[in-house]
A and B are shown apart, each in its own frame.
Chain A
């Protein structure tokens, strides 16, 4: 059984985001909806919709790497772009823009999610951990250190996403097997072809994984 509960690589041609951006008034998918400003003022919301946001920028709070941050963004902004363009957290990368490559993987309450497929608004009330929250060059997370040691990176553009996927699977199961690691990284594309060294790094990090070596700075969900 796969230890990775992310969606498989292939996704429907219309992403949730483009659905919302394009269709406008279709509400059910997201629980939030773009309604004309006048309608929003009157608080006339379609059935099942509990909140009206946008299209203008809204002020929201996000909990990123343990810090609560307030930012003002349009509801159409993805979590990825909020991180990169509004919060300066550029370690998380946009590559495919449709959840197919895993380069934008962050942890939402300790679970890996592709942040290009999630609206920033939907991250409210959750703990978001990015690659920057995992470790720094001076104080690397065990998975990051294992990646460097095993040379599990070449151009390095996919690396933050792969590190996040590996860290998530080891967090759930420090005794993960190579098969589980392969499945956990099946949603991450590395064009340089570094996978074998990624597996090696993950297994070596797994070996050294104890509650003592797990970072304390890491944001953990309540669950």
Chain B
């Protein structure tokens, strides 16, 4: 039972740029609301709405996993290997167990240590101090093994092996279209250079951790944890403890950051649950900061050899990338994404290699692979443009065929003042200004899977319940906005409840999936609920249910809005306490586009005497389908830019190759952006009606981060007239590039 609807989709014109609109016919399930399209006038969607859980967060009343305290709860602590590669011969827990206040102790199953910081044993005690005292009493007999903690050394034949006798170089990932050697041959001009990026750690402010509680009466395991995917954690724990999934409940009401590092049941969650099982009381394990840096994930490094060719018309004839990188004992070091799709070229070849070293495992991190790939690609684009004598923005325009990005280039260039700034003569003084531009891309259209429940209560309020979680996006707010819009209610009459596997299923909050995957399910549920309310209201209004609409906190006759009843008065006729409806997320329709573009412009000031780089201004222009809350959306873009500044200038996970240990596992030695480093950031959204779902909303967390470091690196290179091919661009590198070192 489906129907065909023709939608007006695309993007309307902006100052200086033509719009791109077209009629698209999509097939949608019968009771699905018609996707929002160009020209739809919405009441709450698109307006700035402060986040609904803001007051809880601003007053310290929001309860994160770290804040959960249960009666009789113990505190767990984890002993980690100080050695980068070893075999655990024996663990003696007896002295730790004898310490007064210690209630449980365990050994980790895995006996081979592959990085300094890997879990070895754990204890639970009546206080955090006693737990850490007890760790000092655990005796571990290690058989030391040779290790390698340097990527170049790891690639040599004589290197110690990280995994058994296997090579430290993983399987090569390749892609190829056209003929790159021929493309390079045909080029009027070529460039060839190697770009490198560092390892970045997530530094979620709430560390990884969990509170676990086994109920011996029901056999149920309840875990409060800091996670981006409550259902994934539930399934992993069910497998580990051999429980049916319905005997595992996972709760995450508030999450203090994740950035990709908090998917699935992580070791500390399993440890908390094992300790709780052994002790017979709840156990809380929250990682200390150093362990968070060392063991919970990172963005892999990269070494990217790039070749570009361009013809006499300034069109790319070849893009070639051969790269490798290391995520320690983890994979995912590829960075080819941007090379394959941001710019149009008939000949593209990429080769990616993972290199394993004895260091903490990588995990997904905000647009995995893309910030590092975008940095190399965009710096190469700048070098190519200069070589070919073309303005850098014009060079990008000529090689992008995305109509949305074309609009974004125009908006950004005007807001930034690209023509004047890029042509400005460099100062003869010590402070040099420079500008850069970089293009983003992501595909956050969301997936099917989530279901939502929307409830109308007798008191005239509504509730949304979805088993999703809020990584900081403002998920509760987004869901409440959608339900309020559909039900015609003000936002303060709608409550959002999330973060519990007792609610209906949802997908993990990663890949910028949450909002685009959940909002269509909520709108579907709210639309079904509305139909139920219309059936109650119809006799009250002497009308047919089909002739009614919900708007302005009333239910009214569409053709004659003065015939209206207050929404709350309709709710008073609800037979029981409440009525509810369930909605599901349909698969994506064939709408306008499923990709998103975006571009960022940066201006920097480089002190050529000290080498210090200051980012002066960033102009970020982005699209994410329909923007449902420009206020929280802007927060996400600001955050993506700021994390990009950190990646470009400050952050660097350092491992001593001789010792195999991380030398800066703190928040003072691991440098991050602070308030004094924040530039002026201007954010503009280009709204796209994509018709891909009933809301047409796309995610924004990742696309906002892809181009930031690249734009800054391009700007620094422009300022000093030397390409800065290695991140982070620290003062010593700037001085070396200037020949002052």
Contacts and interface: CB of A to CB of B under 8 A. Distances in A.
Interface of A: 9-11, 74, 76-77, 81, 84-85, 88-98, 100-101, 103, 130-132, 134-137, 140, 144-145, 147-149, 151, 153-160, 163, 182-183, 185-199
B631 interface: yes
Interface residues on B, range: 35 or more
26 contacts: A11-B668, A76-B129, A84-B67, A95-B205, A95-B207, A98-B668, A132-B59, A140-B55, A140-B59, A148-B54, A151-B50, A151-B51, A151-B474, A153-B54, A157-B256, A160-B59, A183-B675, A186-B676, A189-B667, A191-B202, A192-B639, A193-B638, A193-B640, A193-B673, A194-B638, A198-B675
B257 A192 contact: yes
A132 B641 CA distance: 32
Nearest to A76: B129
Q: Is the interface of A mostly helix, strand, loop or mixed?
A: loop
Nearest to B256: A157
A9 B66 contact: no
Given A96-B666, A192-B639, A137 B61 contact: yes
A193 B683 CA distance: 14
A196 B289 contact: no
A153 B257 contact: no
A136 B59 contact: yes
Contact of B642 (A84, A149, A157, A195): A195
B589 interface: no
A196 B58 contact: no
Interface string B448-489: 000000000000000000000011111000000000000000
A10 B668 CA distance: 6
Given A154-B472, A182-B676, A147 B54 contact: yes
A36 to B, nearest CB: 17
A14 to B, nearest CB: 12
Contacts of A191: 202-205, 257, 259, 643, 672
Given A144-B55, A188-B675, A191-B205, 16 more contacts: A90-B67, A90-B69, A103-B205, A130-B60, A132-B60, A134-B59, A140-B58, A144-B59, A147-B58, A153-B51, A154-B473, A186-B676, A191-B204, A191-B257, A195-B678, A199-B678
Given A157-B257, A193-B673, A195-B642, A151 B205 contact: no
Interface in B32-66: 50-51, 53-64, 66
Nearest to A198: B675
A148 B640 contact: no
B222 interface: no
B55 A148 contact: yes
B628 to A, nearest CB: 14
Nearest to B473: A154
B254 A156 contact: yes
A219 to B, nearest CB: 15
B281 interface: no
Contact of A81 (B57, B128, B470): B128
Given A151-B50, A193-B673, A91 B668 contact: no
A151 to B, nearest CB: 5
B257 A148 contact: no
Contacts of A76: 129
A146 B60 CA distance: 15
Contact of A158 (B56, B205, B288): B205
B59 A151 contact: no
Contacts of A147: 54, 58
A93 B58 contact: no
A136 B58 CA distance: 9
B389 interface: no
A89 B63 CA distance: 11
A189 B55 contact: no
A193 B642 contact: yes
A91 B60 contact: yes
Contact of A159 (B57, B127, B666): B57
Contacts of B733: none
Q: Which residue among B59, B289, B639 has the maximum number of chain A CB atoms within 10 Å of its CB?
A: B59
Nearest to A148: B54
B321 interface: no
Interface in B624-644: 631-632, 634-636, 638-643
B674 interface: yes
Interface in B661-704: 666-668, 672-676, 678, 681
Contacts of B207: 95
Contacts of A11: 668
A67 to B, nearest CB: 16
A147 B472 CA distance: 15
B206 interface: yes
Q: Which residue among B207, B470, B639, B675 has the maximum number of chain A CB atoms within 10 Å of its CB?
A: B675
B255 interface: yes
Contacts of B256: 93, 155-157
A212 to B, nearest CB: 21
A144 B58 contact: yes
A97 B289 contact: yes
A95 B290 CA distance: 10
4 closest A-B pairs by beta carbon, nearest first, are A91-B60, A193-B642, A156-B57, A157-B256
A157 B69 CA distance: 17
A119 to B, nearest CB: 13
A68 B718 CA distance: 60
Q: Which residue among B57, B128, B470 has the maximum number of chain A CB atoms within 10 Å of its CB?
A: B57
Contacts of B51: 148, 151, 153
Nearest to B255: A155
Given A191-B672, A193-B643, A156 B59 contact: no
Nearest to B644: A193
Contacts of A130: 60
Interface in B256-285: 256-257, 259
Contacts of A88: 69
Given A151-B632, A156-B472, A137 B289 contact: no
Q: Which residue among A134, A192, A196 has the maximum number of chain B CB atoms within 10 Å of its CB?
A: A192
A95 B667 contact: yes
Contacts of B640: 193
Contact of B666 (A98, A182, A190): A98
A173 B129 CA distance: 40
Nearest to A154: B472
A199 B642 CA distance: 14
A95 B289 contact: yes
Contact of A151 (B67, B634, B676): B634
A85 B128 contact: yes
Contact of B674 (A9, A89, A94, A131): A9
Contact of A101 (B67, B69, B667, B681): B667
A104 to B, nearest CB: 11
B713 to A, nearest CB: 18
A132 B61 CA distance: 8
A37 B210 CA distance: 37
A88 to B, nearest CB: 7
Contacts of B58: 140, 144-145, 147-148, 153, 156, 159-160, 163
Q: Which residue among A93, A147, A154 has the maximum number of chain B CB atoms within 10 Å of its CB?
A: A154
Contacts of A95: 205-207, 289, 667
Given A151-B631, A154-B639, A101 B205 contact: yes
A204 B207 CA distance: 32
B341 to A, nearest CB: 26
A32 B203 CA distance: 34
Interface in B190-212: 202-207
Contacts of A199: 675, 678
Contacts of A91: 59-61
B678 A196 contact: yes
A182 B675 contact: yes
Given A98-B666, A98-B668, A186 B674 contact: yes
Nearest to A77: B129
B367 to A, nearest CB: 14
Contacts of A131: 59-60
Contact of A195 (B57, B63, B471, B675): B675
